[in-house]
Amino acid sequence: MITLHRLNAKPFILNAELIRTVEENPDTVITLISGDHVVVQEHMSEVVERAIEYRRLLYRMLPPAGAGLPQAVQPERPS
């Protein structure tokens, strides 16, 4: 999720994984995969940088390759 600002300076959070395209002429228009459009104050390069940084954060949170996922704790069986 990235924080952006509408043209009226009101901040909002956008799920960066929903971005299809970002255009600048002259306002920055973000087209989402749903087809919806969002106009923001930030320049196109800033939106792209925030989306990239968001993805980097997600990858840093993944466990190292080959580490696998933690094993589920099995309940004890009564004797």
User: How many Å apart are CA 79 and CA 74, to the nearest integer?
Assistant: 15
Mean pLDDT confidence for 6-32:
96
* Residue 61 one-letter amino acid: M
Domain residue limits, the chain: 2-60
Could you say which of 3.30.70, 1.10.287, 2.40.50, 1.10.860 is the CATH number of the domain covering 2-60?
2.40.50
Amino acid in the structure at residue 51: A
Chain segment 22-77, per-residue pLDDT in tens: 999 999 999 999 999 999 999 999 999 999 999 999 888 776 666 665 666 556 66
